[in-house]
């Protein structure tokens, strides 16, 4: 809340809700990360964490109505937590258990909860964008005022799928908000190494100009600012004025994902690429000092919205909830192997 521009219509209850969800996401991701050392072998494959993006995720989702819908990417743990998906089912999915949100068929990259409006993710960069655009086309035809939020990263903005989708969404005035979570890195490639706008010192939101839609860049570490921008975009979309591109500048506080290694090599999370690859620990330390979770806590406490004790209670509750999620997932059975041929086709 560096600029302290007020709370843009968010009352105390809503601000506390936002903070609570941010803390829950952070704690969930901490437990996922800790699983690699505390329970080696329990998480397989490739896992991507949302730490650092909490303010952006929750600020965006706070701008959606109950019947609105969203799609996201393989970095998908944050959204369902804020939508109310049980952390137990999510952790069990990441642990490959029968009780998982997707029954163990999808894992970390494919957490999906259509009953809460979260229609899916793609594990392939940028490929969920046209799908979300199609959900928005459906919403337009249905004519019930639904809006779709489409979340993706800065890397995806170099995919043809992004450009094709924004063109059609603007042409057809689809009710969609594109939230570009710019964390500055495509895996280990910095944005200015792969993005012409970034290399020219321009915000990535300028891409909206090419598609004749509004574009805005916002501090993704400030949930109130994110909410303000996304809420304005949602309002335009609901009013039939078409899509908006919101660039939300965040800093991912973990590496892109756990190490990619063949079986036999224990998996773990390496240091952030700024440290591990670019030898720039000062960049990472600066980002840590702007960590959105303590920042929001400081804002709420300094404004008297929360007492320090109340903020601690929120954190304690999140810790207990996520510890339970880990216990639940560890206790849960694996799926029956024969279930692997279910759900290939819909009957």
Partner 1 sequence: MARELPYIGAINESLRQEMARDPRVLYFGQNIATTDADPFLAEFGPDRVRTTPISETAEIGMAVGAALAGYRPVVELYMAEFMLVAMDQVVNEAPRLRYMTGGQVTVPLVLKAGYGFTAGWAGQHTGSIYGMFLGVPGLKVALPATPADAKGLLATAVRDDNPVCFFHHYLLTLEPGDVPEGEYLVPFGQAAVRRAGGDVTIVATGWMVGKALAAAERLAAEGIAAEVIDPRTIAPLDAATILESVAKTGRLVLVDQATRHGSVAAVIAAEVAEAGFGSLRAPVKQVTALDATIPYSQPMEEYVLPDEDKIVAAVREVLGLTAVESVSG
The single residue among 43, 139, 198, 315 that binds partner 1, judged by CB under 8 A, is 139
144 lies in the binding site for partner 1 (CB under 8 A)? no
Nearer to partner 1, 48 or 297 (CB): 48
What is the per-residue DSSP string for 150-215?
Answer: EEEETGGGGSHHHHHHHHHHHHTT-SEEEEEEE-SEETTEEHHHH-HHHHTT--GGGHHHHTTS-E
Nearer to partner 1, 118 or 299 (CB): 118
136 lies in the binding site for partner 1 (CB under 8 A)? yes
CB of 141 to partner 1, least distance (A): 5
Listed ranges 80-88, 217-225, 310-318, 337-345: which one lies at the site for partner 1 (CB under 8 A): 337-345
CB of 224 to partner 1, least distance (A): 30
CA proximity to 120, closest of 91, 158, 149:
149
The single residue among 16, 46, 137, 280 that binds partner 1, judged by CB under 8 A, is 137
Listed ranges 98-106, 208-216, 241-249, 296-304: which one lies at the site for partner 1 (CB under 8 A): 98-106
What would the two tokens of residue 108 be? 């970390």
What is the per-residue DSSP string for 84-99?
Answer: T--HHHHHHHHTT-TT
What would the two tokens of residue 276 be? 């591990």
Residue count of the chain, please give it.
347
114 lies in the binding site for partner 1 (CB under 8 A)? yes
Q: Which residues contact 117 (CB under 8 A, 6 or more apart)?
A: 64, 67, 68, 69, 70, 83
Nearer to partner 1, 120 or 223 (CB): 120
| Distance in angstroms (rounded) separating the CA atoms of residues 60 and 246 | 10
94 lies in the binding site for partner 1 (CB under 8 A)? no
Nearer to partner 1, 7 or 99 (CB): 99
The single residue among 16, 102, 275, 330 that binds partner 1, judged by CB under 8 A, is 102
46 lies in the binding site for partner 1 (CB under 8 A)? no
129 lies in the binding site for partner 1 (CB under 8 A)? yes
Q: Which residues contact 9 (CB under 8 A, 6 or more apart)?
A: 231
Contact between residue 268 and residue 36 where contact means Cβ atoms under 8 Å apart: yes
239 lies in the binding site for partner 1 (CB under 8 A)? no
101 lies in the binding site for partner 1 (CB under 8 A)? yes
71 lies in the binding site for partner 1 (CB under 8 A)? yes
Listed ranges 80-88, 95-103, 261-269, 295-303: which one lies at the site for partner 1 (CB under 8 A): 95-103
| Distance in angstroms (rounded) separating the CA atoms of residues 37 and 136 | 41
What would the two tokens of residue 10 be? 């968010």
Contact between residue 181 and residue 151 where contact means Cβ atoms under 8 Å apart: yes
CB of 122 to partner 1, least distance (A): 6
Site residues, partner 1 (CB under 8 A): 69, 71, 100-106, 110, 112-114, 119-120, 122, 124, 127, 129-142, 160-161, 164-165, 167-168, 171-172, 342-347
């Amino acid at each position: 809340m560096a600029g302290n521009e007020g709370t843009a219509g968010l009352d105390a209850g809503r601000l506390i809700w936002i903070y609570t969800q941010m803390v829950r996401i952070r704690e969930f991701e901490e437990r996922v990360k800790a699983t690699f050392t505390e329970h080696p072998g329990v998480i397989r494959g490739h896992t991507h964490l949302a730490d650092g993006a909490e303010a952006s995720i929750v600020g965006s989702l706070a701008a959606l109505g109950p019947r609105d819908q969203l799609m996201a990417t393989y970095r998908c743990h944050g959204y369902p937590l804020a939508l109310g998906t049980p952390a137990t089912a999510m952790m069990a999915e990441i642990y490959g258990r029968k009780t998982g949100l997707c029954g163990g068929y999808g894992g970390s990259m494919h957490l999906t909860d259509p009953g809460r409006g979260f229609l899916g993710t793609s594990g392939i960069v940028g490929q969920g964008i046209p799908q979300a655009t199609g959900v928005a086309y459906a919403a337009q035809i249905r004519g019930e005022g639904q809006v779709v939020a489409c979340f993706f990263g800065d890397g995806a903005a170099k995919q043809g799928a992004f450009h094709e989708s924004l063109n059609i969404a603007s042409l057809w005035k689809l009710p969609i908000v594109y939230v570009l979570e710019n964390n500055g890195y495509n895996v280990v490639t910095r944005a200015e190494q792969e993005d012409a706008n970034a290399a020219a010192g321009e915000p990535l939101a300028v891409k909206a100009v090419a598609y004749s839609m509004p574009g805005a860049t916002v501090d993704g570490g400030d949930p109130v600012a994110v909410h303000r921008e996304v809420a304005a975009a949602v309002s335009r979309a609901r009013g039939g004025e078409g899509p908006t591109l919101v660039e939300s500048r965040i800093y991912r506080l973990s590496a892109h994902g756990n190490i990619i290694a063949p079986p036999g090599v224990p998996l773990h999370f390496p240091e952030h690429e700024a440290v591990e690859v670019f030898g720039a620990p000062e960049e990472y330390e600066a980002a840590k000092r702007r960590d959105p979770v303590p920042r929001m806590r400081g804002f709420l406490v300094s404004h008297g919205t929360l007492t320090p004790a109340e903020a601690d209670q929120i954190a304690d509750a999140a810790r207990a909830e996520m510890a339970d999620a880990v216990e639940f997932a560890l206790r849960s059975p694996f799926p029956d192997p024969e279930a692997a041929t279910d759900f290939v086709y819909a009957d």
